Structure 1
Amino acid sequence: MRAGKVSFAVVNVACALHLTFDYVGTISATIGPSMLPTIADHGDFVLEDRISVLLNPTTFVRGELITFKSPQDPTKIVCKRIIGLPGDTVCVDPSGRQAPSDGYVLIPRGHLWVTGDNLPYSRDSRTYGPVSMGLVRSRLFARVRLIDS
């Protein structure tokens, strides 16, 4: 009888953790140089707010950091900064490094234009175009730096 109660408690805790991490928020480690200097290429953890994306999936703000499934590889989650909202016209590459700087894109309804803070080392909307809001997973709530880099 005791083993059954313990098993039931373990299953309950596992379900609660699953629901919390999938629908409320989670902590994730970051890797890669695309968001330097805002987020370190290693040693930083970010707190993700998922519930606001689920409750208000179209209330994004220019400048906020989000995570989303990569349009190029849906098994990867990437973090970028929102530069353009639906209806905005954005310069494809203001740095002029990856594309002619005179190219502009009108962001379609239901999409966002995102870039990394470290443009030379970021694969973002300049590469794969506007990102569907349906791919957005979370807003970044906070950053925790554990390693001084």
Structure 2
Amino acid sequence: MIFDFSFILVAATLLTGVIWAIDSLAFKPKRVAAASAKGIALDNIREPLLVEYARSFFPVILIVLVIRSFLFEPFRIPSDSMMPTLLDGDFIFVNKFSYGLRLPVLNAKVVAIGEPERGDVIVFRLPKDPATNYIKRLVGLPGDHVVVRGQNLYINGERVKVDMVGIYEGHGHDGAQLATEHLGSRDHQVLYLPGREARDYDEIVPAGHYFFMGDNRDNSRDSRFFEVGFVPERNLVGKAVRIWLNWDLPSAPIWDRIGDPIR
């Protein structure tokens, strides 16, 4: 069980729903009968304040819970580890049903829909701290042999093709090398930082687990590090699909990022 905002929503939904239901079944009929005996019109019967609040907030909280748990959830990007795809301060929508419907709090899959694909940008729960969410690009599928040597990435013995584009001229990391990586059927941009020591790696992804890397290859704490490691399937939250706002002072907002799809 994960005690996060989803837990608060579930608890609030249950609390308001139970209060409303108990009043409707046990106490409201008594109020109506007493008012009728005194000749008071039904429209003039006052509900207890707690019941009034519960009845008003229950449907709103329930709708938010359903949307956030099964459809889309907003997240804020807190670092530059996914540059240039995502910037610090980007607010994104994550598709919660791309890889199946999961129960909130318990995170148990109840409906299988799709499978993660190499190259997807995915939000997942950190295996060693499930209350913490990370966002990285899926590089290694279960059973893949992943090798990282400097700026070279190999999957099952084949080098992933990278085309150098030139000097990155975006937000932050002046002088970084910009490249286009052809990961499976996906083309996306990555950054390499001059002077940074590369994090080499050589492992086989276990069954039921995934290997993730940040697009800012030399400035990303990802599956190459012990603190993250392989991510089990049950920790996947959803697929990042679109940027809906960027707000990171002093440059905020960056208007041309609003509405951009995440590739």
TM (norm. structure 2) is 0.50
Q: 2-side partners of 1:46 and 1:93: how far apart?
A: 31
Q: Secondary structure at the match of 2:129?
A: coil
Partner of 1:66: 122
* Distance 1:37-1:58 versus aligned 2 partners, 3 A rule: same
> Which residue, 141, 152, 163 being the options, matches 1:85?
141
CA contact (8 A) 1:112 1:130 kept: yes
Q: Which protein has the larger Cα radius of gyration, Structure 1 or Structure 2? A: 2
Give the secondary-structure state (helix, strand or coil) at the position aligned to 2:136: strand
CA-atom RMSD in angstroms: 2.2
Could you say which residue in structure 2 is the equivalent of 1:106?
204
Q: How much identity, in percent, do the aligned residues show? A: 27
Task: Return the alpha-carbon distance in structure 2 between the equivalents of residues 51 and 97 of structure 1.
Answer: 35
Higher relative contact order (CA 8 A, sep 6+): 1
Shift of 1:6: 5.7
**Letter matched to residue 120 of structure 1:** D
**Partners of 2:149 and 2:224 in 1: CA distance:** 6
Aligned residue among 29, 48, 56 for 1:9: 56
Q: Matched residue of 1:19: which SS?
A: helix
Where in structure 2 are there 5+ consecutive unaligned residues?
A: 1-45, 102-110, 152-196, 247-252, 256-263
For 2:236, the equivalent position in structure 1 comes to: 136
| Inter-partner Cα distance in structure 2 for 1:60 and 1:109 | 14
TM-score when normalising by structure 1: 0.84
Cα 1:83–1:12, aligned 2, differ >3 Å: closer, same or farther? same
Q: Deviations over 1:7-28 (max 9, x none)?
A: 3131111112112112221111
- Runs of at least 4 residues of structure 1 off by over 6 A? none
